[in-house]
Amino acid sequence: MLPRRRACCATLLLTAGLVAGCASAPSRPAAVQASAVTAPLATSLTAAGGNSWAVVPMGGAAAQENLFWELFTRPAASSRWELVTPPGVADNGGLVAAGPAGGRLDVAFRPSQGLTFSPLASTANGGQTWGTGLIDAPVAAAPDGLAADSAGMLALLSDGGIEQAAATGTGWARLAAPGAIAGSAAGRGCAVTGLTAVAYTPSGTPLAAAGCARPGVAGIFALIGGTWQAAGPTLTGPFAARPVRVLRLAGAATGNAALLQAGTGTSASLLAAWAAGGSTWSVSPPLTLGTGQVLASGTGAGAAVWVLLSDGRAETIAGPGAAWRQLPAPPRGTATLAAGLAGDFDALAVSAGNLTVYQLTAAGAWLETQVISVPIQYGSSS
């Protein structure tokens, strides 16, 4: 198990400093400003082949520099989780993961401990070894603030700008200046309140997601011919009169999946949406939030979407045409869920430096199967 090390190691910073093309060309922002919107970073994703990844906060209070973000993986042929957090960088600010793209996982570190940029780590062998790089600006505190496909990478920055790089994470350049999407014709039609995610369509078209003040508009935009164009689903019925915020936007080989929040307060609802091939959207029935708030969310193999709510509910939906399914109340301390290939779920519960894994049995009970003790140096920066 890798030791926890203090601050950024010299090797990573030296390697990252040599990455070509990191500096972004200056670009004049549009008059309309819309920074990135923060969202819960705890999440998991499952590849088509069955490999799962989970991002989990552990330790203690952030105020005492005791909150650390950890990355775990469950190989496709195993039911056991492994700690694979990239070493050498302070991770108090959070981890933002993208992938898997061709078996690769990319992880951006949210700045903390005086950093003003986001180090990058990439693995193609399940976290056994990591390559390094950097984004020369802070990646947004959003679970889909980083996106990757076989040809490129996208990063949503805290100021609302978007940068693009080669698939290797090198040659970062400005794709959209802060406020550019909000100031576009499509952005004005949505009345963008803040960007929330980036993704690629299966054909490689860059996507950006946002919250919209204009009722009934789901703020998903595609960069086509150098212009950001509206590409989100059309909401009907009562949701046509409610403001919509795109909470998640994920890409996959078969299409894109989105999680939308329509409305605010106790009358708000969650809607899942899928675009097969990146085109026509299918929208799910609503899930009423009530007093609950989204604590964590993620995707499973295929088209599955799940959410963990603050009122103790855990809900999942298998894909287009399905209905939301409430899971048994997760164990105490559950920080995130992870979906399996057969609609099964694990709950990852945290208590200080211990991660306890529970599997949902066919009888509907959570069965403890594993405990991982993570070596955390409390009061340090990593």
Q: Which residues have a Cβ under 8 Å from the Cβ of 185 and sit 6 or more positions away?
A: none
Check residue 234 and report its DSSP letter: B
CATH T-level fold of 10-17+33-373 = Methylamine Dehydrogenase; Chain H (2.130.10)
Residue of 200, 175, 93 lying closest to 138 (CA atoms): 93
Distance of CA 283 to the CA centre of its chain: 20
DSSP codes of every residue in 297-354? EEE-STT-EEEEETTS-EEEE-STT---EEEPPPPTTEEEEEE-TTS-EEEEEEETTE
The CA distances from residue 291 to 40, 264, 329, in Å, are: 17, 11, 16
Tens of pLDDT along the chain (382 residues) come to 333 333 333 333 333 333 333 334 444 334 456 789 999 999 999 887 778 999 999 998 765 678 999 999 999 889 999 999 999 888 999 999 998 766 789 999 999 877 889 999 999 999 999 999 999 999 999 999 999 998 899 999 999 999 999 988 899 999 999 999 999 999 999 999 999 999 999 999 999 999 999 999 999 999 999 999 999 998 999 999 999 999 999 987 778 999 999 999 999 999 999 998 756 899 999 999 999 999 999 998 778 999 999 999 999 999 999 999 999 999 999 999 999 888 899 999 999 999 999 999 999 999 999 999 998 877 665 5
**SS3 state at 147:** strand
Cβ(196)–Cβ(245) below 8 Å: yes
The rounded distance, in Å, linking the Cα atoms of 9 and 68 is 17
| Structure tokens that stand for 198 in this block | 């980036």
The rounded distance, in Å, linking the Cα atoms of 40 and 53 is 16
| Structure tokens that stand for 1 in this block | 């198990």
The rounded distance, in Å, linking the Cα atoms of 22 and 132 is 13
Q: Name the pTM for this structure.
A: 0.90
